[in-house]
Chains A and B, each alone.
Chain A
Amino acid sequence: EAGVTQFPSHSVIEKGQTVTLRCDPISGHDNLYWYRRVMGKEIKFLLHFVKESKQDESGMPNNRFLAERTGGTYSTLKVQPAELEDSGVYFCASSIGWGRPGGGDNEQFFGPGTRLTVL
């Protein structure tokens, strides 16, 4: 079974440009999460999808960040325009979902992350 994949693995952009990160969760996982780790800080929650619906986006830094999850499958996170403080590693994670077999503890499976550098 394929794990969570993220694309690209690295992205280097200029301040003011736009970048789109993609996450493909494990097939059949209803929950999809985005997290971010800024250098030297802890990993922080950004938002949570249940299928195609945003369940919680309380961690999104500001309106320069836009996340979508088309058809409840893959998700994209767009940063427009990018600022220097957006640099960091963006992780995606997925889980089966409560109420489904094996989903009771909401174990999350993480992708390798996308390292974003804004110059």
Chain B
Amino acid sequence: AQSVTQLGSHVSVSEGALVLLRCNYSSSVPPYLFWYVQYPNQGLQLLLKYTSAATLVKGINGFEAEFKKSETSFHLTKPSAHMSDAAEYFCAVSDYQASNTGKLIFGQGTTLQVKP
């Protein structure tokens, strides 16, 4: 069965500092991996996705993530945090190859706080 673990339910960084949100996955088949962000009172917005092409994936708002098969990781990074990055971030794996559903399996979510 596929699963996702996000290390750290809350991460706090100073404005301008590096953002690192950790995600590890478990999958018996090559995974499709996604990072979503939820701003207050909004729905989930796709930040970036890995679908077996380039292992370093660039997304919106300056975020990027690197797929590391040997470490079963897909950590999200941003070189310099902005106040507007404060939100909850979700890592998810799709079971598209394990079934014909393509449902997403989510991690627990990480709330990012950005301090001035």
Chain A residues near B (Cβ < 8 Å): 3-4, 31, 33, 35, 41-45, 48, 55-56, 59, 91, 93, 95, 98, 104-113
Contacts and interface: CB of A to CB of B under 8 A. Distances in A.
Contact of B101 (A35, A56, A111): A56
B103 A33 contact: yes
A106 B43 contact: no
Contact of A55 (B36, B101, B109): B101
Interface stretch (B45-53, B58-66, B77-85): B45-53
A106 to B, nearest CB: 4
A30 to B, nearest CB: 11
Interface of B: 32, 34, 36, 41-46, 49, 51, 90, 92, 94, 96, 99-109
Contact of A105 (B32, B101, B109): B32
A104 B32 CA distance: 11
B96 A43 contact: no
A89 to B, nearest CB: 10
8 contacts: A3-B43, A35-B104, A43-B104, A45-B104, A106-B32, A107-B34, A107-B49, A110-B44
